[in-house]
Amino acid sequence: MTVTKTDLDGILPLVARGKVRDIYQVDDNTLLFVATDRISAYDVIMENGIEDKGKILTQLSVFWFNLLADVIPNHLVASSDKEIFSKLPGQLSEPKYKTQLAGRSLLVKKHNLVPLEAIVRGYITGSAWKEYKKSGTVHGLQVKPGLQESEAFEKPIFTPSTKAEQGQHDENISPEQAAQLVGKQLCAEVAEKAVALYSKARDYALSRGIILADTKFEFGLNERNELVLVDEVLTPDSSRFWDAKKYELGRSQDSFDKQFLRDWLTSNQLNGKEGVSMTDEIAAKTAAKYKEAYEALTGKTWAS
């Protein structure tokens, strides 16, 4: 069953519906995150979804939250279906709701969000490569000359962006601009934690034959004003994963993500257009990529 939209009939108030997640308020301190099977490309959500995508994103995030718990606390309250349903109103255990929520939900603690996308880049690719070719900089930072496409930086670099409202574009900014936005001390803490998280994840992924080229983290502040890792973490939606065996310097790499979808949209001149449905073939190929990423990173066979 593909879930592209949840409907809890008002049992819990809907707080927000993002590109992928439907977020409900459980109480004053707790939210229910539900990762749907929606997929977007070029900032447009497709009409149909990707089978099991939301479940894969949820379970992969839980895997990483656990692996990185010694680096920074996270917002998880409950991640198993049994524990989640025990904390929700009893009606939500009825089949019509349970089929929408099981395997794709997290109970999380509410925090004050830091209004930055904390992007960390270990390799030069994507928008960073485009900027570098033009000006020799990445997010306004001067970096080593003579880099080739997809080459590793000497050290991972913190390249933040603004956190845009739904339907708006995030904007790449320099660390100095980020410091002006959130304060120098908080920005420095975010940068330090983001690089530490990336570095641990990169080393782990490489041990599984996967290169973590770049990723984005989101942070919140708890009641003691301490940083907490929130949102999703290190999924194909928020990260660029490459197959280490196929890595080749000087060209763009194939990613474990929605590249099939982007290429199909581009070749059919559908990029950026509303109301588009994927073909069954593109949806199946994209689903296979998400499963492949999950299995490569966790070492577990995917079972929905």
Looking up residue 175, the CATH number of its domain turns out to be 3.30.470.20
Q: Is 171 within the bounds of a domain? A: yes
Q: Is 209 within the bounds of a domain? A: yes
In the structure encoding, which two tokens stand for residue 116, read together? 């930055």
Q: Is 292 within the bounds of a domain? A: no
Give the separation between CA 168 and CA 165, rounded to whole angstroms.
5
Q: Is 39 within the bounds of a domain? A: yes
Give the separation between CA 56 and CA 35, rounded to whole angstroms.
9
Rounded to 5°, the CA angle 43-190-240 comes to 40
User: Do 98 and 117 have their domain in common?
Assistant: no
User: Do 233 and 122 have their domain in common?
Assistant: yes
The last residue of a domain, from among 75, 110, 145? 110
Cα 47 to Cα 43, 50, 235, 283, 285: the distances in Å are 13, 10, 22, 11, 17
User: Do 31 and 136 have their domain in common?
Assistant: no
pTM (predicted TM-score): 0.94
User: Do 65 and 127 have their domain in common?
Assistant: no
Q: Is 71 within the bounds of a domain? A: yes
Spell out, as residue ranges, where the chain has pLDDT lower than 70.
164-169
In the structure encoding, which two tokens stand for residue 132, read together? 């570098």
The last residue of a domain, from among 213, 246, 279? 246
Token pair 């197959």 is found at: 243
Residue-number span of the structural domain to which 30 is assigned: 14-110
User: Do 38 and 94 have their domain in common?
Assistant: yes
Q: Is 225 within the bounds of a domain? A: yes
149 neighbors 251 (Cβ within 8 angstroms): yes
Q: In the prediction, which pLDDT does 257 show?
A: 83
Q: In the prediction, which pLDDT does 165 show?
A: 61
User: Do 80 and 145 have their domain in common?
Assistant: no
User: Do 73 and 186 have their domain in common?
Assistant: no
User: Do 126 and 191 have their domain in common?
Assistant: yes
User: Do 94 and 192 have their domain in common?
Assistant: no
**Structural domains of the chain, count:** 2
User: Do 150 and 188 have their domain in common?
Assistant: yes
214 neighbors 119 (Cβ within 8 angstroms): yes
The last residue of a domain, from among 44, 77, 110? 110
User: Do 117 and 106 have their domain in common?
Assistant: no
User: Do 128 and 226 have their domain in common?
Assistant: yes
Q: Is 222 within the bounds of a domain? A: yes
Q: Is 8 within the bounds of a domain? A: no
